[in-house]
Structure 1
């Protein structure tokens, strides 16, 4: 048949016939992509996960963790229905650090659902953002970053499968697990799948220790489907560093020798919510020379509690609380806007910023952004380790606390060793707690 003959036949199809042909061609395209996929050993799911249990993929960078979970979800949708009363037989959810991460990584990304099944459609309605299949099956997308995210999960509905994407990076992983578990009740075997580069958070350690969690692990060096240039780049970036085992080998590392903070120490100080505050400070540790879009700015909100509470040594004192981490790669203008917004949102007493290392631009930028902000500067007269050690000691005394969870800040705290360049989130937190707790005014009162 010539091209001309084919065009004539296509032109003669009715609308219904054309729709049917398109549907068949899409199905063939999907099947071709599906059959072409070659999994790594760690991407092969276990035979069966117990009800409310989990398949947990731990892997280094580029090991296809997202790819494996996306493949699993598509296979689940095209398998036996979990409940015939549910459209398409399946009602699922995808939880990521933010809802935007769920869209970018789990759905639209090169390893997401659309890469495995081109029939997937993303829709946002008044009820939220959903992924839908032609059969009617759906997966609702959630974040785990803000208290509002947790509230959405609380009323997230019943599901047969929950995918946790980059679980260790979720700020509110604990509440996400708690509330999503309450909705795992569709079908005979509702369960989790999870994909993450491991970080030694308490929640991740607890998951690995559970009998109903099946763990598979992948190493970047073994990711032969990853382009050689990218694999070499990742190995060069992390090989020989303290994070090599975590970021390349997908191993759960605990404490790093010489670090001033430990994961277990932070977990010991963690609180679910902060109590009433007597003072709140927003601290900024700027990128050098005004920074740019590629430079990270440290912005930490911390407070001093109203109540006097005994510390580990038996002294009653006001405790410090890390309340929020707004740090990130941003322009100086965005940094000032975020700091000013945090100042008003938290009803803070002060914005304080380091002016060493080119940070003298901050005062002018803050006055131009919001002249109502009460602003002060600090100048480093001592080395970073000398400034950080007293703050680390406050944590050791159980007098400083992390309110909820801040994975990126906590990773910096637990991997920084004095002598290395200290990262911006850590520096901003040190400035905030120093201003609140290590000023000349005493916060102690002896316990009777």
Structure 2
């Protein structure tokens, strides 16, 4: 018998709360199965038959290759498979770790390739302990970030898990600590393990993962991602064909040392430090975006300091060392860039904001003064080529007197992939200005702006 819309509404209104809950669950189950059965995976999204205990399934892929989609699908299948611990509600207790907790919610749960896209029964719940993605069965995945020291502290108390999804591994600022602390709690069930998704970048931790016997790597290329519009794929390939950007961002190739690059990952790692010593000077260096088009460069904003103590470098010379403290770069309107730099100036008790002005950056001083006239603002003008300016700063790293504090993945990627002769990225330029001002520029070389 077919009911009219009004008859169906009347029937529903007559249901008891218990009957209504059962109906809602049945409808959700039908919707989930409908979505589940119409998914067509790429070859690199097909998971391995078995991931070793405490091992990894690592998806490396270019843009648009469905890395997040593949991991979300895997987690939903895991939840609907055999329970890892029958004593737990739903049998599963998992974790999702992304560059920030907001990224975990937006990309891994709510986004078009997230958990909800594969299982609409998933819902986010805010609890005293944090944000949790939960299934009606009671299975759950707690959301974590890996950006700030507080994020790492939350991971220390993250609890025991049967599955950990690491989203955009190469973009996680505190990746090493995130792996260490999540692995401590990866001990529920007979086969606790990781799944991971990332566009490859030259991170030491990522390179080490790809060399492990218990890490299964699958790779996808943008040119083969048929769910992306053909016009978009053709545009990207025409624009970047033959470049390192194409290899990394489109073909999913993990680039290690680049021939001709001034910095190497091994060199950065050798000079890396975990904490900042007492500092005698701090600057916030800004390098303006070159254009204002849709594909504009980033605004480079780097915070760096000079140590108070004289410490031997690798050559035995006593000198004050330089430390890159933070990378606040990004694509943003001029006013937001100035506000971000001013906020860092006060938070780090900096001596000056240093800005390059002969690349369209004259506006920086005007905007900074309008927002906060108390800021000590200085300008630098490039009188030499970028390679000539960058080489002495790269030499500081080789000498063991210029250090990155913790991890600044986006800056490190630019340092290790830029070759003189190419257009230099803005994070790198801001870093060079900062270290030049702190360690190489003679007193009085920089013009103070009144």
Q: Which residue of 2 aligns with 1:432?
A: 434
SS in 1 for 2:369: helix
Distance 1:221 1:52, change over 3 A: same
- Partners of 1:308 and 1:316 within 8 A in 2: yes
Post-superposition CA distance 1:42-80 (Å, at most 9, x none): 111122222211111111211111111001100111111
| CA distance in 1: counterparts of 2:291 and 2:209, whole angstroms | 43
Q: Give the TM-score normalised by the residue count of structure 1.
A: 0.94
| Other-structure match for 2:236 | 234
Aligned to 2:181: 179
Give 1:6 deviation, angstroms. 4.2
Determine the structure 2 residue equivalent to 1:163: 165
1:234 & 1:101 partners in 2: Cα distance?
25
Query: What residue number does 2:125 align with?
Result: 123
Are the equivalent residues in 1 in contact too, given 2:291–2:297 (CA < 8 A)? no
Residue 372 of structure 1 is matched in structure 2 by: 374
**Alignment match, 1:312:** 314
- Counterpart in 2 of 1:211? 213
Alignment equivalent of 1:143, drawn from 142, 145, 160: 145
Match of 1:327 in 2: 329
Structure 1 residue 3, shift from structure 2 partner = 4.5
Counterpart-to-counterpart distance in 2, 1:283 and 1:95: 31
Whole-Å separation in 2 of the counterparts to 1:439 and 1:38: 58
TM-score using structure 2 length: 0.93
**Secondary structure of the corresponding residue to residue 395 of structure 1:** helix
CA 1:226–1:89: 2 relative to 1, 3 Å: same
Match of 1:198 in 2: 200
Equivalent residues of 1:290, 1:361 under 8 A apart: no
- Residues 125 and 237 (structure 1 numbering): CA distance in 2 closer, same or farther, change over 3 Å? farther
Task: Give matches, 1:233-272, under 5 Å.
Answer: 233-272=235-274
- Report the equivalent of 1:41: 43
What is the distance in 1 between the residues matched to 2:153 and 2:422?
40
Secondary structure at 2:391's aligned position in 1?
helix
Cα distance in structure 2, aligned partners of 1:362 and 1:389 = 26
Secondary structure of the 1:322 match is strand
Larger mean Cα displacement after TM superposition, 292-301 or 78-87:
292-301
Q: Aligned runs of 1:9-158 on 2, under 5 Å? A: 9-158=11-160
Measure, in 1, the Cα distance between the counterparts of 2:109 and 2:256: 32
Could you give the per-residue CA deviations for residues 210-254 of structure 1, whole angstroms, max 9, x where no partner exists?
121111112222222333233223323432212222222212112
Task: Determine if contact 1:294/1:330 at 8 Å carries over to the other structure.
Answer: no
1:148, distance to aligned residue in structure 2 (A): 1.2
CA distance in 1, matches of 2:248, 2:107: 20
Deviation at 1:322, TM superposition (A): 0.7
Distance 1:295 1:289 in 2: 7
Deviates more, 1:330-339 or 1:261-270: 261-270
Q: CA shift at 1:416, angstroms?
A: 1.8
What 5-or-longer segments of structure 2 have no aligned partner? 444-450
Q: Distance in 2 between matches of 1:317 and 1:292?
A: 44
Change (3 A) 1:129 1:11: closer
Structure 1 residue corresponding to 2:351, chosen from 349, 352, 363:
349
CA distance in 1, matches of 2:82, 2:160: 18
8 Å CA contact retained: 2:290, 2:296 = no
Q: Residue 305 of structure 1 aligns to a residue in which SS?
A: strand
1:362-401 equivalences under 5 Å are: 362-401=364-403
Contact preservation (8 Å) 2:289, 2:296:
no
Whether the 8 Å contact between 1:285 and 1:354 is mirrored in structure 2 is yes
**Map of 1:189 onto structure 2:** 191
Give the direction of change, closer, same or farther, for the CA distance of 1:42–1:264 in structure 2 (3 Å limit): same
RMSD: 1.9
Tell me which moved more, 74-83 or 18-27. Answer: 18-27
Structure 1 residue 265: Cα displacement: 2.0
Contact kept? 1:295, 1:330, Cα under 8 Å: no
**Alpha-carbon distance in structure 1 between the residues aligned to 2:70 and 2:118:** 10
* Distance in 2 separating the partners of 1:153 and 1:84: 24
**Residues 251-281 of structure 1: CA deviation (Å, up to 9, x unaligned):** 2112222222222222222222222212111
8 A Cα contact 1:98 1:143, kept in partner: yes
